[in-house]
Every structure is written in C-alpha cells, then in structure tokens.
Amino acid sequence: MKQYTGRPASSGIAISAFTEWSSGQLSVEKKQNQNVDQELARYEAAKDEAVTELGELYTKAVQEVGEEKAAVFEVHQMLLMDTAFTCSVQSIIREQSVNAEYAVDQTGQELAAMFEAMDDEYMKARSADMKDIAGRVVRILQGSAECSGTLEEPCIIIADDLSPSETIRLDKSKVLAFVTRQGSLQSHTAILARTMGIPAVVGVPIPKYASHQSGTCIVDGNQGNVYIETAEDARTDGKEWQNLLNQYQEKQAVDQKQKQLLQQLKGKPIYRKDGSQMKLCANIGGVSDIDAALLNDADGVGLFRSEFLYLKSADYPTEEEQFAAYKEAVEKMDGRQVIIRTLDIGADKQIDYFNLEHEDNPALGYRAIRICLTREEIFRTQLRALYRASAFGNLAIMFPMITALWEVKRIKEIAAEVREELIIGYTAATNQEKEDTTLRNTETYRKTLEGVPLGIMVETPAAVMLSEELAKEVDFFSIGTNDLTQYTLAVDRQNRNLEKFYDAHHPAVLQMIRMTVENSHKAGIWTGICGELAADVSLTQTFMEMGVDELSMSPSSILKVKHELLCK
Ligand code: PEP
Ligand code: MG
C-alpha cells in the first residue's frame, strides 16, 4: 500500500477503483542509450493496442455518428499500420538508441510537418491526423488512460491537473473523487469539486499509474491523504490494507450519518435578533448543479458562474442557448432568486475561441467585465438572454471585476439599451410570441425587465474603497473573497507555493468586508459573500455580527453553515 499526502480541496471520503487521467498534453522526454530490442518491442505492443483502440472507437462512432463520420478512425488505423510510420519509428530507435516515446513523437512531428507543407487542402489536414496518431501511441507507451470525458464505471480520477473545461466535461455521476498532482485550493477545479460535493485532494506527489495497474484507492478529502493498493501491493500487506479499509469505511459511514443529521436542519430559516434574515445560497456552475442546491436547502442561487456555459462550448454560446439555460435555472429555483454573473473569462479561465492574447499577468489582465466592455457584442448577447429569461422567474444580474464607477455607469447604459430593444421587439411580436414570455402586455414586460436587480461583485480593493459611491448605483453587492484576497494581499490564488501567504482571514480582508457591508447598508442595499470564505464556519458568526445579508457557497457546505448558525 502506498500513502501520499496533498492538500484537502473538497471534503468527503471516497473508496473505489482509480483511473489515471491524461489531459492529452503529453510531455515526451528523450532517453538515450536504451535497449534497442526492448524499445522496438514496446513500440510494436503500443501500436497494436492503438489499432485495437481505434477499432473500438470506430464501432462506437458508427453507432453514435454514423459510418461516414466514423471513417476517420479507420483512416487513423490505416495510417498507423502504414509502413512509412513504423519504418520511421524503427529507424529512429535503431540509429539513436532512444526510447520508443521519443521516436514516435519525432515521427509524428516530421510527418505532420510534411503534410502541412503540401498545397492540397485535404493532404494538409492529414497533418493533424499524424499528431493525433502519434499522441495516441505515446499515451499508450506512457501508460495513461484516454482523455474522453466519458467514464465507463464510477471511479477516482488521478491526473496531473484538470482544466476547468475538462472538469466540467467529465461525467460527474461517475467521478467519485479527484486527485491531482498540481492545482491549488483556489483553482477552479477545486471550486468545482466542492460545488459538486466530490472529495478532492490537490498537490499530491503521486507517481503515474500505468493503464494496466488496477487496484483500490482511498481518498480522504478531509485530511488530504490518498492511499493506493494495487494487486502487487496486496501480496505483501493485505492485513494492513484491510485495517485501513475498515477504518475508512467506518469514517465514510460517520460522514454519511453527519450528512443525514444536517438534513434535519432543512427548511429552518435563519433570523437575526432584529428580525432580518440571513440567506444561505448556492454557488453553481450550471443548471445541472441546481438539484444539489435544492437538495441542500439553498435559499437561492447567490452566484451562477455563467462562464462555464462558454467553457463547455466549442464556440460562443448563442442567445438561444443561453436563454434556455437561464430560463431553466430560474424555473427550477421556483421563485427563489438566481443571481447570474455575466461571463468572467480570462485569468485561469481561458477559452480558445475568444482568441485572447498571451499575457504576462493574466490575473491583472484582460478579463471579465473588461472583455464585456470592449467586445460589447458578446456582452449584449448575454444580456439579451438574461433579460428574456427574467420573464420566467426571479433573476438578478451581477457584474464581475468592477474597479471604477464609470464601468458601472456604462454597464447600466448598455443594459438599458438592451431592455429597450427587447421591449420594441416585444411590442412588434405576434400574440403567440408574447404568450411565450408568459407576460400579457408591453407595460408588464417593461416593468419586469426594469425590475431585474443589477449588482456587482466587490472583489477588488478599488471596489471596496469606492463602495459608498458604487452602492448608490446598484441594487446589491456580492463580495468575491477569492479575488479580493488575491488582489488585496498581492498573492496569486493559483500559485500553490504561495498558499501560506494566501490568507483570506487577513485583517485587511476582514476590514474590507466590514466596510463594504456598512457602506451598502448606508445606501439601503444588501451585501452577500460568494467567495469561498462564505463556507468557512470559523467566520460564520463574525459575518452574522457584521450584518452580511447572504452567504453563498458550494451546495454541499450550506447545511454545515446552517448548523453553525442554528445549533451553536
Ligand atoms: C471570487 O473571486 O471570490 C469569486 C466568487 O469569483 P471566482 O472565484 O469565480 O473568481
Ligand atoms: Mg472572482
């Protein structure tokens, strides 16, 4: 049995089989003075496995997308079995006495460059095929599982790191826990794991497990421990492992009992002495998280990270796609408020089709509202979808990364223009179309759109210092303590070497929260917290005393915070 320790990123215990996950970005090392015969044999075996994999992919693809589209996998099989590919790999291994991975990678690169240089468009396109084929063989040689987003069986995922879009693409019903070698507690992958209530440990110095190495893994997301027992280990330490397994099965049962106890707090509102309510809401990344929000008794959605709609998609989501998602969210929440944050792209959330330039300091760069205010067509599409969805439930809109008053004023101008366009469209619409909005006349439609609360995220020191003025412009504040901590302390939230310095309890951060709440109340608006600090029970009573009106967090944390407020 092997034990590894990392940082606990999402609580809970999982016990299951594991899968080594490869994100497709393989790094290939050149190893010299290798045993040539052995490397040739490794290549042959990996090639055969790749051919088999491609055959299976072809069969699956025929069922899902039809023969014509599936043919690409047959082409890959043929290219791989072609003598040109194999001869090149073999001669690199023989002539340079190098490892098979390097020879395959070199061959892939050379053939890809050759196709790329051809004039014919069809032949040019074969360049990508060559890279793909070489990547598949290298992956098999390195013993990693295929990166597909789908999982055959429920399992624990072990990976170098997972990008937010990869995490979101995974079939969550099959992911029992995440273990990553890299990643920080504040990364969006860790946040997503908490949102989904999936145990996670990050920064684990765990070696790569080959695809043939199966076994059982225990992930302790409370303590940050990971244990692995392969069939090989079982021969020497069966008893020790069995004891550990028993211990963890007991812990898992206690955990589940605790969760059941917390369920008894459901439906109990939290009031202050002055009769005002403290709302406990959910942070979600998409409509599929709403079930978890409802299950955990959320008073509403305090943060819908709309950028995940963009991250999941291969191109800009259309107005209709966004409208459908926002409408479904408000309908499912059935009268409870859903605060949807406009897209917060940039920094660690990069999307290819946005074509954002490389930046030396992305966290201080072109992100969030800065993109929306310079590429207004993207912003207007999202606002149209949001306002249209507002006719179907209790929707509020929130804007991220605000640093100046002019930004809020410009946002409000654009929002007013979008509303006017929609109202004109509504007036001209047929009765059938009007029925689709559930509203019966132009005046009620206008009132609904104008009644949508507009709020801002207070997540920069500038917004805190301007909170008195900003409070006069908006309907609510929501404090993003993740970024507020990063920008106040000048500590990169993504950098795991700085975790010791990333102190969300820092007096400067707490002072800023207090100041924001006070300034909002002076202007008669409310303030929530939607950063990770909202779920920190060591601060729950402090937030209550400060007058914070709403705490919004991963659905799985809500009942724990409620317990802190009602039972202590
Ligand atoms: C925050 O910064 O606290 C926040 C909630 O936004 P995100 O984590 O998505 O940047
Ligand atoms: Mg933020």
Residue 398 DSSP label: E
Residue 403: pLDDT band (50, 70, 90) is: very high
Instruction: Report the C-alpha gap between 351 and 493 in whole angstroms.
Output: 19
**Helix, strand or coil for residue 532?**
helix
Q: Measured from the CB, is residue 346 less than 6 Å from ligand 1? A: no
User: Which ligand 1 atom minimizes the distance to the CA of 482?
Assistant: 3
Please choose from 457, 478, 491, 516 the residue to mutate so as to test ligand 1's pocket, defined by most ligand atoms within 8 A of CB: 457
Q: Is the CB of 488 under 6 A from ligand 1?
A: no
What are phi and psi for residue 218, nearest 5 degrees? -115, 125
User: What three-state secondary structure class fits 131?
Assistant: helix
Q: Output the six-digit token pair for 3.
A: 């034990």
Q: Give the mean pLDDT of the chain.
A: 89
Note the pLDDT of residue 87: 93
User: 499 versus 211: which is more confidently predicted?
Assistant: 499
Which ligand is located closest to the Cα atom of residue 303? 1
What pLDDT is stored for residue 65 in this prediction? Answer: 44
Answer yes or no: is pLDDT of 519 > 70.
yes
User: Above 80 in pLDDT, residue 430?
Assistant: no
Average pLDDT over residues 24-31: 77
Atom number of ligand 1 nearest to Cα 307: 9
Take atom 10 of ligand 1 and give the residue whose Cα is closest.
483
Distance 186 CA to ligand 1 centre (A): 9
Name the DSSP class of 21: E
pLDDT tens-digit map of 333-379:
999 999 999 999 988 888 889 999 989 899 999 999 999 999 999 99
Confidence band, pLDDT 50/70/90 cuts, at residue 193: confident
Q: What share of the chain is helix, strand, coil (3-state, %, to 5)?
A: 55, 15, 30
pLDDT at 402: 98
* 535: confidence class by pLDDT, cuts 50, 70, 90: very high
- Say which residues have a Cβ less than 8 Å from residue 444's Cβ, sequence separation at least 6: none
* Total number of residues shown for the chain: 568
Distance CA 510, CA 504 (A): 8
- Stronger pLDDT, 327 or 112, i.e. the higher one: 327
Residue 478, ligand 1, Cβ within 6 A: no
Ligand 1: residue whose CA is nearest its atom 9: 305
530 is catalytic: yes
DSSP 391: G
Ligand 1 nearest-atom number relative to CA 478: 5
Q: Quick one: which atom of ligand 1 is closest to the CA of 530?
A: 5
Beta-carbon neighbour count of residue 462 at 10 Å?
16
Ligand 1 pocket residue status of 305, Cβ below 6 Å = yes
Torsion of CA 5, 10, 11, 12, to 10 degrees: -90
Residue carrying structure tokens 């507002």: 390
Give the bridge partners for 303, in sequence order.
283
The residue annotated as part of the active site, out of 76, 188, 281, 372, is 188
Q: Average the pLDDT over 448-470 and give the result.
A: 98
Q: Find the 174 Cα to ligand 1 centroid distance in Å.
A: 27
Structure tokens at 15: 């016990």
102 near 31, Cβ under 8 Å?
yes
Distance 94 CA to ligand 2 centre (A): 53
How confident is the model over 72-91, as a mean pLDDT? 87
Residue minimizing CA distance to atom 1 of ligand 1? 480
Q: How confident is the model at residue 466, as a pLDDT?
A: 98
**Number of neighbours of residue 392 by Cβ within 10 angstroms:** 19
- The catalytically annotated residue of 155, 281, 372, 530 is 530
Task: Record the tokens describing residue 273, joined without a space.
Answer: 């002495």
Q: Is 531 in the pocket of ligand 1 (CB under 6 A)?
A: yes
Integer Cα distance of 339 and 291 in angstroms: 16
Does 536 contact ligand 1 (Cβ within 6 A)?
Answer: no
| Index of the ligand 1 atom closest to the CA of residue 347 | 10
Q: Distance from the CA of 55 to the center of ligand 2, in angstroms?
A: 45
Q: For ligand 1, is residue 296 a contact (CB within 6 Å)?
A: no
Q: What percent of the chain has pLDDT over 70?
A: 91
Q: What percent of the chain has pLDDT over 90?
A: 62
pLDDT interval class at 162 (50, 70, 90): confident
- CA 43 to ligand 1 centroid distance, Å: 46
366 Cα: distance to centroid of ligand 2 (angstroms): 14
User: Residue 347 Cα, ligand 2 centroid: separation in angstroms?
Assistant: 10
Active site residue 188: yes
**Structure pTM?**
0.68
Q: How many Cβ atoms are within 10 Å of 161's Cβ, its own excluded?
A: 18
Of 482 and 276, the one with more pLDDT: 482
Q: How many CB atoms lie within 10 A of CB 42?
A: 19
